[in-house]
A and B are shown apart, each in its own frame.
Chain A
């Protein structure tokens, strides 16, 4: 007995319903990125880049033709690099302490790390501004931005590195010790290379959080302008198309960096096979996955 075409179509639909919904969600996720890309080729007549006028490559050819925008971008990159360096070092140390050592105040330290992630950004920004205004030691600008960015990156670094350390096979370190390595050599030659992919992932996350931060920077920047703050300022008088071009350039660079990180992680896993029973980790440790672990 053969099924009617209708029932078969219905069965197909039911079997693939989840995939169809998933595909639609993927389209939804990528739609704004497509719009940003499309409007980077737009040729608006006025100052506002909201409606499609016509195709041009001019803005890609002159991506860095706006000095104020370039300056903001350089500030953002400098800030993100410094904030990443400091928060990655400090956060990795904290993660090592929390996973490797039993000590008094461990719960308190954990609480101190979780609580900034559970605080809305606007509250963190407002609290820091209150602090800076009252104590008056720091003048609002690059310095206060760096302090703020390191502060909100630390927790995320700890969470990412910690999830990597938890799956760590400590017998490798014991082997190094048995073979005569002192604690520092063991750390430098065994531990560090093995947790490096985790540290690298944490650093990338910190960099992404810092370069994209708007709310906390909005409160603590003084007259310093970062890339997101430039966009915010420009949004009232019309955002230049070059912003879309630079956004797409940043997007491509990040994608390339992520591809590199995935490749490096796979290589490290193959070389060391630290966790042979585990499947490959998701490409980039994000706050969400890490917090759920």
Chain B
């Protein structure tokens, strides 16, 4: 009898904390999203119009958020894979140093990193001039454009992509790759048919860990984007914190959460469920 209580005792405090300060707040926000009126005299009356109005007013920001987040995730994947591969198979004694380089950005404040990119991408910076010279920035401006926001998102969430891919590559039994080569596969074939599929869980985890925070982000769009680059996070933030239009902001938050959940579920159905749920889904 005593043993059966033990797990619940261990789980208790954390579960209570997560239920009271995560689940119940979501319930309150759901209620808020269906209220109408102005602050001070908000009234709950199943006001579904909040949803349709918010969606039709901010559909461009929704599309833009998913486009920016998708582009940043794809770019991060293309950048991360070679690095993760090099750390796992080629780094040798440099491995720890390279892993340090991967997590180093986390040791500086997120906002300062983003502001550093504001400096790097400003019109006078050598980076902008170089990109202008080689024809990648024809106008000579990068700041306050969509690509600047995508670049910021890519950079800020890159470690979330690199680390899971590295973790899955590092676990691969090298003998499997050697076996493929013994059986006359070329280096390329061995990569595409053995290494890449075996690292799929890492890719799935990495893309989720990058896409989810990127889709809801508003810091990059605020510092690196212009008026035409606002993402849905910016809208939610300003509706909540400056305009005090809580019902609309709550409705938008729910739509964002629902869209991300749908995207995640579809993606996991498509890619396999191991990565997100860890041990449990196996």
Q: Report the interface size class on chain B.
A: 35 or more
Q: Which of B18, B102, B122, B253 contacts A50 (CB 8 A)?
A: B122
Enumerate chain A interface residues (CB-CB to B < 8 A). 18-19, 21-22, 25-26, 28-33, 35-36, 39, 50-51, 90-91, 93-94, 96-98, 100-101, 103, 107, 109-110, 112-116, 118-124, 126-131, 133-135, 147-148, 150-151, 154-155, 158-159, 162, 166, 208, 211-212, 214-215, 218-219, 227-228, 231-232, 235, 239, 243-244, 247-248, 250-251, 254-255, 258, 262, 279, 282-284, 286-289, 291-293
Contact B119 A289 (CB under 8 A): no
CB of B173 within 8 Å of the partner chain: no
Could you list 10 A-B pairs, sorted by A, with CB under 8 Å?
Answer: A18-B82, A94-B10, A122-B233, A122-B237, A166-B279, A212-B109, A219-B240, A255-B100, A288-B209, A291-B164
Determine the chain B residues whose CB is within 8 A of the CB of A284 once the complex forms: 103
* Chain A residues within an 8 Å CB radius of B216: 120-123
Interface string of B112-152 (1 = CB under 8 A from A): 11011111101010000000000000000000000000000
Contact in complex: B205, A288 (CB < 8 Å)? yes
Alpha-carbon distance A30/B97, docked complex (angstroms):
12
Chain B proximity of A175: nearest CB distance (Å): 21
Please, which residues of chain A bring their CB within 8 A of the CB of B72? none
Kindly identify which residue among A22, A28, A114, A247 contacts B276, using a CB–CB cutoff of 8 Å.
A114
Q: Does B206 contact A (CB under 8 A)?
A: yes
Q: Determine whether the beta carbon of B85 is less than 8 Å from that of A214.
A: no
Using A112-B19, A127-B29, A219-B241 as known contacts, say yes or no to A247 and B109 having CB atoms under 8 A apart.
yes
Complex contact B4–A26 (CB within 8 A): no
Instruction: Provide the main secondary structure of the chain B interface.
Output: helix
Residue of B nearest to A35 (CB): B116
CB within 8 Å of A: which B217-261 residues: 217-219, 223, 233, 236-237, 240-241, 246, 249-250, 253-254, 256-257, 260-261
List the one stretch of B47-55, B56-64, B155-163, B176-184 in contact with chain A.
B155-163
Question: Known: A103-B4, A291-B164. Is A218-B17 also a contact (CB below 8 A)?
Answer: no
Beyond A103-B7, A243-B112, whether A218 also contacts B22 by CB under 8 A is no
Q: Assuming the A-B contacts A215-B219, A286-B103, are A93 and B111 also in contact, with contact meaning beta carbons closer than 8 angstroms in the complex?
A: no
Q: Which of B10, B15, B119, B159 touches A35 (beta carbons < 8 Å)?
A: B119
Residue of B nearest to A126 (CB): B253
Q: Chain B: which residue is nearest A103 at the CB level?
A: B7
Contact B253 A289 (CB under 8 A): no
* Cα-based distance from A127 to B118 in the complex (angstroms): 30
In contact, A21 and B99 (Cβ under 8 angstroms) = no
A127 touching B90, Cβ below 8 Å? no
Q: Considering the chains assembled together, what is the distance between the CA atoms of A87 and B202 in angstroms?
A: 27
Query: Nearest 4 pairs between A and B by C-beta?
Result: A120-B216, A22-B86, A288-B163, A131-B25
- Shortest CB–CB separation between residue A164 and chain B, in angstroms? 13
Q: B7, B13, B167, B217: which contacts A293 (Cβ < 8 A)?
A: B167
Determine the distance from Cα of A182 to Cα of B15 in the docked complex, in whole angstroms: 28
Known A-B contacts A18-B86, A96-B10, A288-B206; the reply to A33 vs B276 at CB < 8 A is: no
Question: Contact partner of B257 among A29, A35, A119, A283, CB < 8 A?
Answer: A119
State whether A112 touches B18 (Cβ < 8 A). Answer: yes
Residues of B within 8 A of A36 (CB): 108, 112-113, 116
Task: Pick from A28, A101, A154, A283: contact of B100, CB below 8 A.
Answer: A283
- CB-defined contacts of A287 to chain B, threshold 8 Å: 160, 163, 209
Q: Are A122 and B218 in contact (CB under 8 A)?
A: yes
Any A CB within 8 A of the CB of B215: yes
Known A18-B85, A30-B104, A120-B216: A227·B26 in contact at CB below 8 Å: no
Cβ of B79 within 8 Å of any chain A Cβ, yes or no, is yes
Q: How far is the CA of A279 from the CA of B95 in the complex (A)?
A: 13
A87 to chain B, nearest CB (A): 8
- Distance in angstroms between the alpha carbons of A94 and B9 in the assembled complex: 9
* Residues B21 and A151 in contact, CB atoms below 8 Å apart: yes
User: Are A22's CB and B98's CB within 8 A?
Assistant: yes
Interface residue? B68 (CB, 8 A)? no
Question: Complex Cα distance A32/B124, Å?
Answer: 16
State A196–B137 Cα separation when bound (angstroms). Answer: 51
Residues facing A in B65-110 (CB within 8 A) are: 79-80, 82-83, 85-87, 90-91, 96, 98-110
Which chain B residues lie closer than 8 Å to A248 at the CB level?
108
How many Å lie between the Cα of A291 and that of B254 in the bound state? 25
Is A288 touching B159 in the complex (CB atoms < 8 A)? yes
Chain A residue at minimal CB-CB distance from B163: A288
Q: Are A118 and B264 interface neighbours, CB within 8 A? A: yes
Contact indicator A33/B104 (Cβ below 8 Å): yes
CB neighbours of B102 from chain A (8 A): 29
- Could you say which residues of chain A place their CB within 8 Å of the CB of B104? 29-30, 33, 251, 255
